[in-house]
Structures are given as structure tokens and as C-alpha cells.
Amino acid sequence: MTEAAPLAVHMRGIHKHFGAVKANVNVDLTVRAGSVHGLVGENGAGKSTLMSVLYGFYQADAGAISVFGQEAPIHNADDAIALGIGMVHQHFMLVDTLSALENVMLGAEPHWLLQRASQQVRGKLEALMQSTGLHVQLDALVGDLAVGDRQRLEILKTLYRGARVLILDEPTAVLTPQEALQLFEVLRGLRANGTTIILITHKLKEVMGLCDFVTVMRAGQVVVELPIAGASIEGLAEAMVGRKVHIGRVEDAHQAGEVLLHAAHLEVRDAMQVLRLQDVGLQLRAGEIVGVAGVSGNGQSELLDVLSGLLTPSKGELKVCGKAFAPAHWLDPQTARQLGLAHVPEDRHARALVMDFAAWESAVLGYDSLPQYCSGPWMLHAAMHQATDSMMERFDVRPRDPELLSAKFSGGNQQKLVLARELGQAPKVLLVGQPTRGVDIGAIEFIYSQLRAMRDAGCALLVVSSELDEILALSDRVIVMNQGRIAGELAVADCTEAGLGLLMTGASQ
């Protein structure tokens, strides 16, 4: 892909304000036809707002847009779709109770007779799946589909509507590494067939491996736009944040202390009596970070749920800060907090936040009965607001507005709010699932520093992550899980990506 290729999208002088917040300031963006164009920046840099303007969700306050060389006033999403623009959002826009086929048809039925319409749509989708490799079970309910299948369905839906420009907002944020690789192969195939792809992402390795061009935004403005051949991960990270960023391993001397959590012989069966955890045991020591690596779905989620009191095992024993538990009387989340065990769940939307709550409500969730937040039966709202404001300042949550609904924050800022809440109680044991999922590189550096500070203060940490780079950067000791078992345990000094990969797949056994 050369810079001489015609432009698929040309945005000029785009301004978009939300009250006093300047989301986009005089933004120019050029996207070459048939290219994969990366759009990167910190949370709140204006990337999603710019793409929402292109897709017609927002109206620009000023500026102009051309699509394939023609001036294109875009007033709504229907205008964008008519111009051949499709957008797949970070949080999927699908109806769980409808089939995959019905989700594609919804709002775009080609005939008033639904049976005839479904036959027409099925035929077109089967041809699309054959040509793109985006295979989905069309008659399956969306609620029963895996996350990767839902992602493919969203892309199929946009292509069915004639998209020639495909906008993907954080497409790998909820995918396993294997699903992400499959997605990249599909995107390369779409590019080869002439589809133009705009990729909004925080993952600079993805940008370097997949994109032809990249644009960096900071504080609502474009600061860099260049071919990927002239880019580097270090240079892009510095452009995003405005300073040099270090998210690699920090070698520092420290000594692990007493055992604060001990688990042995943990066994979990699902509703179909399939073993999800098999004879799992581990120890967490004060002043130590233990990383858990593994392909998603190999028991890591169940391990977090058991240790945090969200799930009772069928067998096993647990001791937290000197208090013992057995399956007949297992740990519960309230007791866990009283003992000094905090938990940052993998799924912040389902487990860590109430999306319709204001930020100040989410910031005290689970801790609202603490003396500083209540007096008898009365909640001390002023104290909760003040505490939330302090959390937002310390963790740089943007915008710093305790009254804003939790759903209105970007994914990275939601994650920082959850971390601020759980770390703010100075726990003795901290369980963290996917600490930087959907978080920009500047925030990753900050989160890493906070987790290391907790360790250095004597906290025992368990970190589950699907990112091997993250496990190697944070951990003092690494546990690898495969098929619900612990496949290996290594000091981080003895770890290599290749070796961990063999343990993760069971090949080394």
C-alpha cells in the first residue's frame, strides 16, 4: 500500500465539543483505499469521537468529510451506511435473544415476507462467509455464541450492508489471543479484497503487525500521521503520551514474606459436571506478585472466582490471612473484604461496576458500609463524593466527574476507577483479572506502578492476564494453567515466551 493510493476517507478540520470538553480540535485524517489504518491514542484522546462523527453518531461542530473523493455530509448512521461506511463497536450491538441471521436482518429486511427475506439474507451471508472466512452458525442464538463468533457476526453485518470502509473499535479487547490471530487473518483477507479498515486500538504490537498507516491522537488533536514503515512501538508510545513510556520489567530487589493465602486441592465442576479446576493448589506470599498465564478458558476465571468467594468449589481448602474455609462453609465476598482480600474482576461491566450508577456510587460499591461512608443507617453522600474525587485525582480518571454515569467513561477509565476502589482499602491480598484490558499505554504504565507499589508495601498479589508480556513484566513467580490444572510453576527469571507457550498448550507435558 503506497501513499499514492486514492483516499477512501478524508476528514478536514473536524471540531467536536461536548460542553467545555474539546473532544476533537481541528482534526485532519486521510485514509487510503484498500489499507488498514491504525488510529491510536490514550483513553479520552478523541479517537472514538472522531470515528463516531464519521459514522454519523455525532455531528461535527465544524469541518468537512469526503468519502472516495466525494463530499459527504453525514447527518446520521443511515447516511454513513449508504456511503459504504460500517462500524463495529467495542461493546457489541447485538440482540442476545435473536439468532445470528435475525440480527443481520434486523432493520435491513429485503422483503416484507420474513420467510422470503430470511432466505435472501441467508444466501447472501453464506456467500459472504465463503469469500471472507467469517464463518458463523446463522441459526444459533447470539446469546449462545462465543465472543469471537459475535465479533465475526458484527463484521458480517456491516459487510452485508455494503461496507467498503470498516471501522473497528478495540476489536481484540475481549478476544483470546487465538481469536485475535484469527481476526487478523480475516482482516488481511478483507484488505486484499479492497476493503478499507480503520483500526482503533491501544495495542501497538497489533498496529505494527497489521496496519499500513497509523495516526496518533493526543488531547483531541492529531500529533503524528505516517506510514507504518516509518513507525516504532517506542515512538508511537511517546507520541501518544507526550513522554517516554516504560512498561517492561523493572528489576528490583525484594523479599517475599509470610503466606497470606493458601489453597489446596481445589476442584470445580460446571453445570454439566465438566471439571473446570482439577486439584489446584497455590500460595500467595506478602511482597510478591504471582502471575497466572494460560489460554483463556483453562480455569483461570474459575480460580479467581473461587479465591474471591464468588464460587464455591466441590472440593478443596482455603486459608486467607489465618482463617480457614472448606466447601461446606466457603469464603464469601463480604468476609473476604473484612479479611483484607480485594478483587478486581476480569469483566468490569458484569462484575465490578453498575453501569447505570454514577461514578461515586461505583467507587464505593461493596465498601459502602465502612464507617467513613455511613452513620448508622444513613449513607454519608458527601464523604462518598469526596472519596471518589480523591480516587479520580490519584488514578487520573477522566473526566473527573463523580456524577457522570459509569457507562459514560471509556473502558480504560472504568478500569482505573475499579482499581482505585480496590487498592484504596490497602488490602493484604489482591486478586486482579486482566488488569489492563482496554487500557491505553500511559495508563498501563501507571497501573503497573500501582501494582508494584502494593507488592512493595507487603501485599500478596495474584494477577491473571491473557497477555504474556504483561505476566513477564509484573510477576515474580508464574503459574501456568492448562485444562483446569497447574501445568507448571516458574520463577520469572526462568521464564521464556516459548517455554510458557509450551506449558499453556500442554505440549511440554
Residue of higher predicted confidence among 131 and 419: 419
Sign (positive or negative) of CA dihedral 17, 23, 27, 32: negative
Say whether both 162 and 289 belong to one domain.
Answer: no
- The answer as to whether 187 is a domain residue is yes
With respect to residue 353, please indicate whether it lies within any of the assigned structural domains: yes
The domain tally of the chain equals 2
Same domain, 84 and 214: yes
Q: With respect to residue 188, please indicate whether it lies within any of the assigned structural domains.
A: yes
Q: Count CB atoms within 10 A of the CB of residue 508.
A: 14
Q: What tens digit of pLDDT does each residue of 335-357 get? A: 999 999 999 999 898 899 999 99
Mean pLDDT, range 34-43, rounded to an integer: 93
What pLDDT was estimated at residue 455? 96
Look at the block and give the residue holding cell 506478602.
Answer: 286
Q: Are residues 214 and 145 in the same domain?
A: yes
Residues, the chain, total?
509
Top-ranked range on mean pLDDT: pick from 145-149, 215-219, 244-248: 215-219
The model's pLDDT over 122-140, given as tens digits with 9 standing for 90+, comes to 888 888 888 888 888 898 9
Q: Is the pLDDT of residue 509 over 60?
A: no
429 neighbors 397 (Cβ within 8 angstroms): no
**Same domain, yes or no: 229 and 283:** no
According to DSSP, the residues that pair with 320 across neighbouring strands are 261, 323
What mean pLDDT comes out for the span 173-189? 81
Last residue of a domain, one of 214, 241, 268: 241
User: Both 214 and 316 in a single domain?
Assistant: no
- What is the CATH classification number for the domain harbouring 422? 3.40.50.300
Are residue 237 and residue 284 in the same domain, yes or no?
Answer: no
Using the Cα atoms of residue 284, residue 285, residue 286 and residue 289 in order, give the sign of their dihedral.
negative
Domain presence at residue 250: no
381-402 pLDDT, tens digit per residue, is: 999 999 999 999 999 898 899 9
**480 and 435, same structural domain?**
yes
pLDDT confidence bin for 508, thresholds 50/70/90:
low
The per-residue pLDDT of the chain, averaged, comes to: 90
The string of pLDDT tens digits covering residues 40-52 is 998 778 998 999 9
Q: What is the pLDDT of residues 273-330, one digit of tens each?
A: 889 999 999 999 999 999 999 877 889 999 999 999 999 999 999 999 999 999 999 9
Residue-wise DSSP of 322-339 = TEEEBTTB---HHHHHHH
Instruction: Write down the pLDDT at residue 287.
Output: 96
Q: What is the pLDDT of residues 446-496, one digit of tens each?
A: 999 999 999 999 999 999 998 888 999 999 999 999 999 999 999 998 998
CB 267 within 8 A of CB 275: yes
Residue 317 belongs to some domain of the structure: yes
Distance between CA atoms of 439 and 247, rounded to whole angstroms?
Answer: 13
Nearest CA to 442 out of 211, 200, 218, 180 is that of: 218
Question: Which residue from 376, 368, 466 is spatially nearest to 421, judged by alpha carbons?
Answer: 368
- Same domain for 209 and 340, yes or no, is no
pLDDT band with cut points at 50, 70 and 90 for residue 507:
low
CA angle 440, 222, 212 (to 5 degrees): 75
What is the chain's percent helix, strand, coil content, to nearest 5?
35, 25, 35
Question: Given 187, 208, 241, which residue is the final one in a domain?
Answer: 241
Whether residue 251 is contained in a domain is answered as no
Quickly state the pLDDT bin for 432 (edges 50, 70, 90): very high
Residues in contact with 485: Cβ distance below 8 Å, sequence separation at least 6, in sequence order: 278, 279, 280, 299
Residues 306 and 430 in one domain: yes
Whether residue 1 is predicted with pLDDT greater than 70 in this model: the reply is: no
What share of the chain in percent tops pLDDT 90?
61
Residue 144 has a pLDDT of 86
Based on the fold, state whether residues 211 and 320 are members of the same structural domain. Answer: no
Helix residue ranges per DSSP H, 193-339:
204-210, 233-241, 300-308, 333-339
382 within some domain = yes
Q: What residues contact 81, with CB distance under 8 A and at least 6 apart?
A: 161, 162, 163
Domain housing 107: 7-241
Final residue of a structural domain among 241, 275, 299? 241
Is 140 contained in some domain? yes
Lowest mean per-residue pLDDT among 180-184, 291-295, 357-361: 180-184
Q: pLDDT band for 91, please (50, 70, 90 cuts).
A: confident
182 and 270 share one domain: no
Contact 405, 353 (CB under 8 A): no
Res 3 pLDDT > 70: no
* pLDDT grade for 146, boundaries at 50, 70 and 90: confident
Tell me, yes or no, whether 264 and 295 share the same domain: yes
